[in-house]
Amino acid sequence: MSFLSEFVRSPLTVGAVAPSSAALARVVTAPIPRTGDPVVVELGAGTGAFTGLIQRRLGGRGHHIAVEVNERFAMRLAARYPGVDVALADARDLEAVLASRDLPPADVIVSGLPWAAFAERQQRDVLTAAVGALAADGAFTTFAYVHARWAPPARRLRRALESRFDEMVIGRTVWGNLPPALVYHCRRPAPILVPGAA
Ligand SMILES: C[S@@+](CC[C@H](N)C(=O)[O-])C[C@H]1O[C@@H](n2cnc3c(N)ncnc32)[C@H](O)[C@@H]1O
């Protein structure tokens, strides 16, 4: 089983032909605190391009959950990273995954999900689940490929991130990834404004 063979099997779920690079992993995992016992959620962990670095940054502290919908990837992750709590689940069900483990909201969510391959509804549902599972002062990072930056799904994601977080900053292009990528650094989920409410 390889990343490429899983892409061929399910292109819209895997969403990339190769795993992310170490350079991209360094940028997306930057918000993980070096002290304390944070709850860190990894969405769409795949073959573990970010997993090893998250484990190193945690150094045995906190709780690291990797949510992966592909069973073969999930089994491989669990075998390779015994310190990671691997949940074979859809990211849409993140709040239920945390509740089933009696865990508080996540301090950091690192997403490797293929947002550009998601339909509009799926994109909205997954983002709602992530925002709902994040602590009030939590951080959320995700990435988009530079070449697809102006395509409708990427623009939709960017608008959604801007409206669902108090702060959204786009990092510098990570050229050391194939294809080059941009990282969205989001902080503090914003309350949903109800029109007409005081
Ligand atoms: C582009 S790959 C990224 C894998 C890895 N994070 C990396 O950067 O190399 C996307 C991953 O998200 C997983 N995935 C797609 N949709 C998902 C969903 N709704 N819930 C959980 N995982 C999902 C896929 O199975 C795949 O492993």
In this structure, what CATH number is given to the domain that contains residue 134?
A: 3.40.50.150
Q: How does residue 192 score in pLDDT terms, banded at 50, 70 and 90?
A: low
Q: Say if 198 falls within a structural domain.
A: no
The confidence band for 14, taking pLDDT boundaries of 50, 70 and 90, is: confident
Q: Is residue 5 part of a domain?
A: no
Q: Model confidence over 26-55: pLDDT tens digits?
A: 999 999 999 999 999 999 999 999 999 999
Is the beta carbon of 112 within 6 A of some atom in ligand 1?
yes
Is the model's pLDDT at 13 over the cut of 90? no
Q: Cα separations (Å) of 64 from 39, 57, 68, 109?
A: 6, 11, 13, 10
Residue 69 placed within a domain? yes
Residue ID of nearest Cα to ligand 1 atom 14:
44
In a domain, 24, yes or no: yes
User: Whose CA is closest to 186, among 155, 118, 150, 140?
Assistant: 140
Strands (E), 39-180: 39-43, 63-68, 85-88, 106-111, 134-145, 165-170
| Residue 196 domain flag | no
In a domain, 47, yes or no: yes
Is-contact 178 146, C-beta < 8 A?
no
> Measured from the CB, is residue 108 less than 6 Å from ligand 1?
no
Decide: 177 in ligand 1 pocket, CB within 6 A: no
Separation in Å, CA 73 to CA 11, 16, 56, 134, 163: 14, 14, 20, 24, 32
Name the band, by pLDDT with cuts 50, 70 and 90, for residue 2. confident
CA of 25 to the centre of ligand 1 (A): 14
6 is a domain residue? no
Is the model more confident about 17 or about 166?
Answer: 166
How many C-beta atoms lie closer than 10 Å to residue 123's C-beta?
Answer: 18
The total number of structural domains in the chain stands at 1
Does ligand 1 have an atom closer than 6 angstroms to the CB of 182?
no
Residue 97 CB–ligand 1 contact under 6 Å: no
Assigned domain for 51 exists: yes
Cα–Cα distances in angstroms (integers) from residue 127 to residues 56, 93, 131, 138, 174, in the given order: 27, 11, 6, 14, 23
103 vs 95: CA distance, rounded Å: 10
The number of the ligand 1 atom at minimal distance from the alpha carbon of 118 is 16
Identify which of 85, 56, 70 has the alpha carbon closest to the alpha carbon of residue 14. Answer: 70
Domain span holding position 141: 20-189
30 Cα to the center of ligand 1, angstroms: 19
Q: Over range 59-64, report the average pLDDT.
A: 98
